[in-house]
Amino acid sequence: MKRNLERERKRKQRRKLKQKQLPYLKLLKLADAVFSKWIRVRDDWKCLICGATEQIQNGHLIPRGNKAVRFDPYNCSAICSFCNYRDNYWHFYYEVAFLKRYGAEEMVKLSERANVKIKLTRQDLEEIIRKYSL
């Protein structure tokens, strides 16, 4: 009898926790927003490529679809919307700016990290939100 009561109590606690949790996609979107703002503040709201200070976005050297480096501070930089758009076609400018800032050794390390396949868990996203919240 006591075991059944204990099990039922634990089930209710798990249900309450699930009800309070954000859906995974909303949690991912929140992590993106928090991390993006952190990157732009880190880079002083200034484009890494051209130095502009308007319409600043979080640009990814390796596309953000690669989950292993999506939230890697070395993979991201503040860049203006023009340079971010241009980066889709002329990636060379971003690579040059990255090399000036971090060097070739860091680019190699970033490429190695990008080759690892990962799945971002809820706990990973929650940790990113905690770590990069301003």
Classified as helix, coil or strand, 24 is helix
SS3 state of residue 20: helix
Sign of CA dihedral 93, 64, 123, 18: positive
Q: Is residue 11 part of a domain?
A: no
106 lies in a domain?
yes
In a domain, 3, yes or no: no
Which range is least confidently modeled, 21-25, 72-76, 88-92?
Answer: 88-92
In a domain, 6, yes or no: no
What is the spatial distance between Cα 112 and Cα 106, in angstroms, rounded to a whole number? 10
Residue 102 lies in a domain: yes
Residue 109 has pLDDT above 80, yes or no: yes
What is the total count of domains within the chain? 1
Domain that holds residue 124: 23-132
Per-residue pLDDT of 58-72, as tens digits, reads 999 999 999 999 999
Distance CA 34, CA 66 (A): 18
In percent, the amount of the chain with pLDDT more than 90 equals: 76
Task: Tell me how far apart the alpha carbons of residues 56 and 65 are, in angstroms, rounded to a whole number.
Answer: 20
Q: What pLDDT, on a 0 to 100 scale, did the predictor assign at position 123?
A: 95
Rg of the chain on CA atoms, in Å: 20
Q: What is the pLDDT of residue 67?
A: 96
Q: Tell me phi and psi for residue 64, to 5 degrees.
A: -70, -10
Residue 61 lies in a domain: yes
Q: Pick the residue with more confidence: 112 or 4? A: 112
- Whether 62 and 110 have beta carbons less than 8 Å apart is answered as yes
Whether 35 is covered by a domain: the verdict is yes
Which tens digits make up the pLDDT trace of 36-88?
Answer: 999 999 999 999 999 999 999 999 999 999 999 999 999 999 999 999 998 77
Q: Is the pLDDT of residue 1 over 70?
A: no
The confidence score (pLDDT) of residue 18 equals 57
Pick from 113, 112, 29, 48: which is nearest to 86 by CA?
48
Specify which residues 58 forms β-bridges with. Answer: 78
